[in-house]
Structure 1
């Protein structure tokens, strides 16, 4: 009970601080919410749309000044209070003057871009925004806002002559994996006091993908005997595509593989031998449930990086691959799109059995399945998930545990790799476990 009360008190304290620090922002948000509710529930006729847009120009401070003027006017006129009438006149004149300053057309061209569009966590990403005055008259200084993720970059542009342009550079923070929305770019026209805020949108939103870290891995090896297009193995076969050697004919051998020219020279029947070719389909299931890891945020990111590294290796080997992670389902695509999907993943509760069923539906020809999870996931859940795949499928479980030593063990038909950091994955796979 005391713990619940303490959390409640903390929330109330945080709410009080927000109210103290941002009263006008809170009022603006409530006004905007009220306008949206009215437009959605009541509806605005087409003839009233221009006036409705003008109402949206007024900021929280503008509404406060207008309310002050009207209230002072009513009270002053009712009781003959001259001072209040003067306050009302000043407030209303100020409101009208600021409204006039917000009028007029802004004729500019705004170009915003981010380069590169795809980066790895921690890599720099820079953006550029250029504003060109396309009007025939000089343009006064104007404020340009560019939405970058949850924050906004603000640039105060100087006065521009007709045809002149001004360029600003900005840096996009990429310390966390994810998809960062850049844009739209808007110009803000109003008055110096901030009573009016007229915004115009000039660009669309673009996405900046921050990919997870990956490590270079050795080839994952061959898969099952799926078809005749795949990686060669050391297994001898009497019918395949990779020719290996000749041997003496034995009863029961297929006569189609007799090499007649060599047999004529040797004086005895010789048949061709081949090496098996195998086609692999690697399926990766990533457990993103923070409750299954020791350090919820860090370890989940490591698990996503492990799955991404395996996916990139399989794509490099030109093997088929599928990834099931949270709400992302992707199969037989390029590694770029796979990493884009990993950037969109949001940690949350996971039904591991459901992931496995989705994996079997997505890739029924799976030859190797990797299940990446944390040390708190019950072993019976891992067996149930792995049991959804056919018996001939190789099952590998990767446990991300920063407090454990990396190693390999076998149990319940599973190969279990334990790693404490992403770099351990290369060592564990090189040992031949995943081959």
Structure 2
């Protein structure tokens, strides 16, 4: 494990700017001190056992050499326990930089150690856990009194999902490696590994829309229609309070309106594991995330569906790209839901503008059902992952075939220009 050490220095304004703009660090707090105990390492226990046995043999049989060896071993164990007995006066924390990252991008754990005592701290090591597995021992440099040091290590981001990091252990060992004092610092934090995405243009639909996206959170009343009810929050227009529902629920409820002139992009992700060969499902998630992110960054409405149902994207009609990527970070392939289940959910929803179906190439497509969907959407596209172009079947709707995420960009741009 390779770590990058930083010399003792005060925090600079550049550090604060980086944390706010790119890292968005969370839980940067003094470490909560857990149990602290000094105990022997496996090597220490072996030396202790050897010392006891050597002393017994030397004393019982009169071997002076064995007795001397046993006494030396016991003395080494005693020295190690005395070395690690004092509890170091230190504050420690661990930061995750950044807290959200795309798959295979760099995320780091940053150990911050502040010496609050009067003596230089030596032999300190930070040990962290990722997904419950103890990993990443980081040897810390000597810390003078009142100084602060930092050490960095890279976190694994090769698998999409929510990764629990911590709690961190602060370890102080003796020079012989026979004993160590362990203290638990802070609590576990979560690193969210998102899907990879590529920049895509929004597919133009057949209706007249705000092509440049909405310029505010509201639109002209002529393009607004009722969508649902939600609880009142400070700043809501009181003219949109639904008094009958408010009286029935005992809470102030307001109408949530949507702008029907904005093109709605509906992304259907097939989560049936039988539809994909090895590794293809992750590419399919990346494709769905790229399509949804493109619409969300243009402030167009987005709907995400899987065989399990409609994925919630927050209270607002414009969820933002962050909500879209966070939600797709947690989807997984399963055997109980198929593309047909996702189409069942889609048939119960209102029609939209653009429909993109992302699926694998291991199962035949329900061509008849997909053909019926085309009449409910202005633009429809099927993206198949892990299938050759020669193996595609005629559906009456445009199809794209990709093996890697980077294959999507040129094919998508050609489709957008049609």
> Do both share a fold (TM > 0.5)?
yes
Q: Measure the CA separation in 1 of the matches of 2:307 and 2:76.
A: 57
State the TM-score, normalized to the length of structure 1: 0.59
Q: Name the counterpart of 1:155.
A: 139
Q: What is the CA deviation profile of residues 264-288 of structure 1, one whole-angstrom value per residue up to 9, with x for unaligned ones?
A: xxxxxxxxxxxx9477361422437
SS of 2:183's partner is strand
Q: What is the CA deviation profile of residues 195-239 of structure 1, one whole-angstrom value per residue up to 9, with x for unaligned ones?
A: 212222323333343433323333345599xxxxx9479xxxxxx
Query: Is residue 287 of structure 1 aligned with residue 271 of structure 2?
Result: yes
Q: Measure the CA separation in 1 of the matches of 2:386 and 2:323.
A: 28
Query: Is residue 378 of structure 1 aligned with residue 360 of structure 2?
Result: no
SS of 2:40's partner is coil
Q: How does 1:64-83 map to 2 (within 5 A)?
A: 64-72=46-54
SS of 1:207's partner is strand
* 8 Å Cα contact 2:310/2:345 also seen in 1: no
User: In the superposition, relative to structure 1, how do residues 61 and 141 fare at CA in structure 2: closer, same or farther (>3 Å)?
Assistant: closer
SS of 1:284's partner is strand
User: In the superposition, relative to structure 1, how do residues 395 and 159 fare at CA in structure 2: closer, same or farther (>3 Å)?
Assistant: closer
In angstroms, what is the RMSD of aligned CA positions?
Answer: 4.4
Q: Measure the CA separation in 2 of the matches of 1:64 and 1:326.
A: 55
User: In the superposition, relative to structure 1, how do residues 342 and 58 fare at CA in structure 2: closer, same or farther (>3 Å)?
Assistant: farther
Query: Is residue 103 of structure 1 aligned with residue 89 of structure 2?
Result: no
Question: Greater relative contact order: 1 or 2 (C-alpha under 8 angstroms, separation 6 or more)?
Answer: 2
Name stretches of at least 5 consecutive residues in structure 2 with no aligned partner.
1-34, 212-220, 224-259
Q: Radius of gyration: which is bigger? A: 1
Q: Measure the CA separation in 2 of the matches of 1:355 and 1:64.
A: 60
Bigger shift: 105-114 or 391-400? 391-400
Q: Name the counterpart of 2:251.
A: none
State the TM-score, normalized to the length of structure 2: 0.61
SS of 2:300's partner is coil
User: In the superposition, relative to structure 1, how do residues 401 and 101 fare at CA in structure 2: closer, same or farther (>3 Å)?
Assistant: same
Query: Is residue 164 of structure 1 aligned with residue 147 of structure 2?
Result: yes
* 8 Å Cα contact 1:287/1:371 also seen in 2: no
Q: Name the counterpart of 1:263.
A: none
Number of residue pairs matched by the alignment: 327
Q: How does 1:224-243 map to 2 (within 5 A)?
A: 231=209, 241=222
SS of 2:80's partner is helix
Q: Name the counterpart of 1:187.
A: 170
User: In the superposition, relative to structure 1, how do residues 399 and 194 fare at CA in structure 2: closer, same or farther (>3 Å)?
Assistant: same
User: In the superposition, relative to structure 1, how do residues 326 and 219 fare at CA in structure 2: closer, same or farther (>3 Å)?
Assistant: same
Query: Is residue 308 of structure 1 aligned with residue 308 of structure 2?
Result: no
Q: Measure the CA separation in 1 of the matches of 2:155 and 2:121.
A: 28
Q: How does 1:16-415 map to 2 (within 5 A)?
A: 54=37, 57-72=39-54, 84-121=66-103, 123-125=105-107, 128-147=110-129, 151-160=135-144, 162-172=145-155, 174=157, 177-221=160-204, 231=209, 241=222, 277=261, 280=264, 282-287=266-271, 289=273, 292-293=275-276, 296-297=278-279, 299-315=280-296, 316-324=298-306, 329-332=311-314, 333-345=319-331, 351-353=337-339, 356=342, 359=345, 364-365=349-350, 367=352, 369-380=355-366, 392=376, 396-401=381-386, 403-404=388-389, 410-411=394-395
Structure 1 position 395, deviation (Å): 6.3
SS of 2:293's partner is helix
